[in-house]
Copies of this chain bind each other. A is one copy, B any other.
Amino acid sequence: MSASPERREELLATAAEVFAAQGYDATTVRKIADAAGMLAGSLYYHFDSKESMLDEILSTFLDELWARYDAVLAAGLGPRETIEALVTESFREIDGQRAAVAIYQRESKHLARHARFGYLAGSQQKFEKAWLGTLERGVAAEVFRADLDIRLTYRFVRDTVWVAASWYRPGGQHSPEEIARQYLSMVLEGVALRT
């Protein structure tokens, strides 16, 4: 009935890898079991459904992410510094939880409809409030441009950060901090050469 937490985490990690590579619906419990070196039915000693594995992967990821974000938001930084810190923390999260981020990116939109994953919609709202609020604060403080549609800017910044999970591989030539630095430089200053 009960199982050791370490084994659960191991199995969740391999399940997350398979989910990220193939997509949740295309992933069968037999594929997960194969990757874990056991048979399909044995997974049900540790988890009570395929859906609950997904649930645990996503909620663990979001808990960790919001711990980072809340710390940044509570630091009382200026708007530009807040954006910089949020982007940097996001890339650190992508670095540490690549699979979970990729799953979230791919599945959260249609999962949010289901009651069990309602917290995804809640998280998305907190997300929007944090980013959009910081951007508006920056426009008011005259550190960000006022001539842009602010919601378009929000989606632009949000998406450019998180899509990176689709190509990022840990251990590459750039550290998460270096990627964050260059991304921020492009978003804030643009790619065109100043004349």
List chain A positions with a Cβ less than 8 A from chain B.
21-23, 25-26, 80, 106-107, 109-110, 142-146, 148-149, 152-153, 155-157, 159-160, 163-164, 166-167, 174, 179, 182-183, 185-193
Task: Name which residue of chain B comes closest to A173, CB basis.
Answer: B149
Given A152-B183, A155-B167, A159-B163, 12 more A-B residue pairs with CB atoms under 8 Å apart are A80-B192, A143-B193, A144-B192, A144-B193, A145-B193, A146-B193, A153-B191, A156-B191, A160-B160, A163-B163, A189-B190, A189-B192
CB neighbours (8 Å) of A156 from chain B are: 160, 183, 186, 191
- Give A25 to B23 CA distance when docked, in angstroms: 8
Q: Is the CB of B182 within 8 A of A110?
A: no
Q: Is the CB of B191 within 8 A of A148?
A: yes
Question: How many copies are assembled?
Answer: 2
